[in-house]
Amino acid sequence: MALLASWRLFFFAMPDEDFICPACGAEVPAKAKACPECGSDEKTGWSDNTIYEGTGIEDPEEFDYEDWKRREHGRRKPSVGWVWWLVGVALFIFFLWAFVLKRILEAL
Nearest-Å Rg of the Cα atoms of the chain is 32
Question: Mean pLDDT across the chain, nearest whole number?
Answer: 76
| Model confidence, pTM | 0.31
Q: Where are the domains of the chain?
A: 2-77, 81-108
Separation CA 44–CA 62 (nearest Å): 22
6 pLDDT band (50/70/90 cuts)?
A: very low
Q: What is the pLDDT of residues 66-108, one digit of tens each?
A: 887 888 787 777 777 889 999 999 999 999 999 999 999 888 7
Dihedral pair phi/psi, residue 24, rounded to 5°: -120, -15
Q: Rounded to whole angstroms, what are the CA distances from 22 to 30, 41, 51? A: 15, 10, 13
Residues written for the chain: 108
User: Are 45 and 11 within 8 A, CB to CB?
Assistant: yes
